[in-house]
Amino acid sequence: MIDPLWAVLGSVAGAIAGSFLGTLVLRWPEGRGVARGRSACDGCGRVLGVLDLIPMLSTLMLRGRCRSCGAAIDPLHGRMEAGCAIVGALACGVAPGLAGAGWALLGWLLLTLAVLDWRHFWLPDALTLPLIFLGLTLGLWVTDVTLTSRLIGAAGGYAALLAVALVYRTTRGRDGLGLGDAKLMGALGAWFGWQALPFILLMAASLGLTAVVASIAAGRSIDRTTRVPLGTCLALAALPGWWVSVMIR
């Protein structure tokens, strides 16, 4: 059963969070400020008013363009707002209270990391490290996993992918796996425990392979230097992998 009131609250909170996170995804990789100063149009620099900042609705009313200069509003804004709203509604509606808030926060951060890695092959420490901390603290009210399993998962998840990265660098003479992926794996271990990590990694690898096959089918050139955003695959596989691990226990 879904609690309607909590679902609405989670949806509103998610839309607000998505507005900020969408701006973060667009500006942070370019070195532009996100938290400082008032929001402004990327095209003309006009400071945005209240009516320009209503998540999803403002973009629809403005038909996707700035009211001053007519510059197109990046559709990622609306997609992040909608995605976070859906995550918030499901998380808080299914698990009202602190647990739902924890699920929502986890979902919003994983969505942000997935998009950042997909677009820029970047998993910043400023997101992955807090995610580890939250898994070891707030996560205790979210998933029924002991603190010991979380600690082993955090250390083991990081160490496993770190070892893969070091072996690849030693044998191939170049980097093949970023440390951000290892930190994200450690964060998932902190949230779901070490027992879920093999299933998450298997599903992530399957998603990556599927993406490569789809690229080949679409006629894109694929070779051994082609990059696959493992972080995106890990973020998408996190909940299904955890669910499978719970079902088979």
Distance CA 62, CA 49 (A): 13
Return the closest-CA partner of residue 65 out of 87, 80, 46.
46
Average pLDDT over residues 132-161: 96
Say yes or no to pLDDT of 196 above 90. yes
Q: What is the pTM of this model?
A: 0.90
pLDDT value, residue 48: 61
Say yes or no to pLDDT of 65 above 80. no
Distance CA 230, CA 90 (A): 25
75 and 119 together in one domain:
no
103 and 76 together in one domain:
no
62 and 113 together in one domain:
no
> For the chain, what is the domain count?
2
- Of the residues 96, 126, 148, which one is the last residue of a structural domain? 96
Least confident of 52-66, 188-202, 234-248: 52-66
Other Cβ atoms less than 10 A from the Cβ of 209: the count is 12
pLDDT value, residue 222: 78
Residue type, 61: M
Give 41 or 201, the one with higher predicted confidence.
201
> Partners of 178 in the beta sheet?
none
Q: Work out the angle at residue 169's Cα, subtended by the Cα atoms of residues 160 and 195, and round it to the nearest 5 degrees.
A: 10
Q: Please, where are the H alpha helices in 72-192? A: 76-94, 98-120, 125-136, 147-172, 179-192
245 and 129 together in one domain:
yes
pLDDT value, residue 228: 87
Contact residues for 121 (Cβ-Cβ < 8 A; gap 6+) = 178, 227, 229, 231
- Of the residues 77, 96, 115, which one is the last residue of a structural domain? 96
For residue 71, name the pLDDT band (cuts at 50, 70, 90). Answer: low
For residue 248, name the pLDDT band (cuts at 50, 70, 90). Answer: confident
63 and 81 together in one domain:
yes
Least confident of 92-96, 106-110, 219-223, 244-248: 219-223
89 and 102 together in one domain:
no
Average pLDDT over residues 153-159: 97
Q: What's the chain's Rg over C-alpha atoms?
A: 19
For residue 74, name the pLDDT band (cuts at 50, 70, 90). Answer: confident
Say yes or no to pLDDT of 112 above 70. yes
- Residue 217 dihedral angles phi and psi, to the nearest 5°: -65, -30
For residue 114, name the pLDDT band (cuts at 50, 70, 90). Answer: very high
Average pLDDT over residues 69-93: 87
pLDDT value, residue 123: 96
Domain that holds residue 20: 1-96
Residue type, 197: L
